[in-house]
Structure 1
Amino acid sequence: FFSIFAFATCGGFEGSVTFSVTCAGGDNATRVTNVTAAYGYPFRLNQAVFQPSLTHLCNHTWPRDVHLVGDFSSASRFFVGVAVGAFLYSLGALGLYLGYLHLYRCAGSHLPLLDPRTCCSPVSVPLSGSAPPVPGPRRGHVRRAAAAPLPHCPAPGVTCARAATPMGGLGASVAFGFLNLLLWAGGSWFVYKETPLHRPAPPPEPSPAPM
């Protein structure tokens, strides 16, 4: 369930950056326009353009369209991929435990040794892929990119005021990622306890004495 929440909150995240642009007119009149750049998964902020186009505001103060800065697509896709893989493995392992437990615990089965190695993958992959151990669209990195001032805003003729930029959903995905990592680490220990490495196989039953 935590893996579902992790990739759902990250993959379904939608945010925006809004500025209120005030243009001072020649007759002391002012014109206020709200411009917004919307972004979301996979967090290619450098492709998010402010709308309506800034090139039409404040007597063509901006010569071209303005984009946000930053591309976090590789990290966010890695995060979602690990979460989806953990979810699919959980379904497969649940089917194995419920339907084929007799094969799992039979003598000579290699499944108890294979299971810990596979179960540790959702823990070892994030740890080896990046730091901190829950890679993805770091909330701090995206927040800093979204908090950058609007470029080419010449004062005092033009004033650019920032509106709120909520990121609660992105913080939730990182929290679920950490919880998922801790749960898999704990689950790996219990899976290891089922292996002969931790619990030796019981000795064979003695054969009856010959008559």
Structure 2
Amino acid sequence: MAGLQLNFGPLKEPIGFIKLLEWIFAIFGFATCSGYSGKTTLKTTCKNNSHVHDFAPTFQYPFRLNSITLVPLNTCNSTDVIHLVGDFSSSAEFFVAIGVLAFLYCIAALVMYVGYLHVYRDGKRGPIIDFIVTVIFAFLWLVSSSAWGKGLTDLKYATNPDVIKNNIGFCTNLAECSSGGVSGMGSLNVSVVFGFLNLILWCGNAWFVYKETSWHTEPEQHQDPGNVAPPAQNP
């Protein structure tokens, strides 16, 4: 029978329990990255009129810093708008996209395990497809977490007020600049950690899914004919 047959037993097995953890960890992974918002603060004193300005631009996901204004036009008689430097959207968006796709796949897999396990295990293609997708996601978590980890390191550097004031001519020619601090990025650090935890989970779950496939077969037990005892004869 191919209809719905609810069975929560698989959630107690490694294949279902780890998939549930993957679902939870995927949420934490993309939510801690996409939900971040911070500020970097630069304090300036104009050389021509001693006016004091505090600039605190907000940066957030997807971290296109080069579109964020740091110093507005005509500040201290400046003739240009000064933006933050850097665009880290590619690595951030890739990481979040993998998290969202993994989240959706986990939901589909859990529905299959809980409601259609008999269909999943009776056929050959279901476990094989599940195994292939699991391996692909494990690889994607490795790539996206590594890329986002590098992007986060560059993001921290680009939003450091000390780095900013040393790299813009405004703080040399028109104003005296000092660092005002930058928001903590603890949640972004957590997102990278969850990315690699997801990698570990998906790699581990690949083994349990593989055991469900027709590729994993128990070795046949062969007996040595020479060791087989002859049948007992009746007197």
Q: Deviations over 1:105-129 (max 9, x none)?
A: 22x53212221001112112244x5
Shift of 1:198: 2.2
- In structure 2, how many angstroms separate the alpha carbons of the residues matched to 1:184 and 1:32? 53
- In structure 2, how many angstroms separate the alpha carbons of the residues matched to 1:113 and 1:93? 13
- In structure 2, how many angstroms separate the alpha carbons of the residues matched to 1:40 and 1:144? 15
Match of 1:179 in 2: 197
Residues 38 and 49 in structure 1, CA contact (< 8 A), matched pair in contact too = no
- In structure 1, how many angstroms separate the alpha carbons of the residues matched to 2:118 and 2:127? 12
Shift of 1:69: 0.8
The reply on whether 1:139 has 2:162 as its aligned counterpart is no
Match of 1:116 in 2: 131
Q: Secondary structure at the match of 1:5?
A: helix
Length-normalised TM-score, structure 1: 0.81
- In structure 2, how many angstroms separate the alpha carbons of the residues matched to 1:84 and 1:45? 24
Structure 2 residue runs of 5 or longer lacking an equivalent are 1-23, 222-235
- In structure 1, how many angstroms separate the alpha carbons of the residues matched to 2:66 and 2:219? 58
Q: Secondary structure at the match of 1:164?
A: strand
Runs of 4+ in 1 over 6 A off after TM superposition: none
Structure of higher CA gyration radius? 2
Residues 3 and 176 in structure 1, CA contact (< 8 A), matched pair in contact too = yes
Aligned length: 191
The reply on whether 1:160 has 2:177 as its aligned counterpart is yes
Higher helix share: 2
Question: One-letter code of the match for 1:114?
Answer: I
Q: Please, which of 75, 85, 92 is the counterpart of residue 76 of structure 1?
A: 92
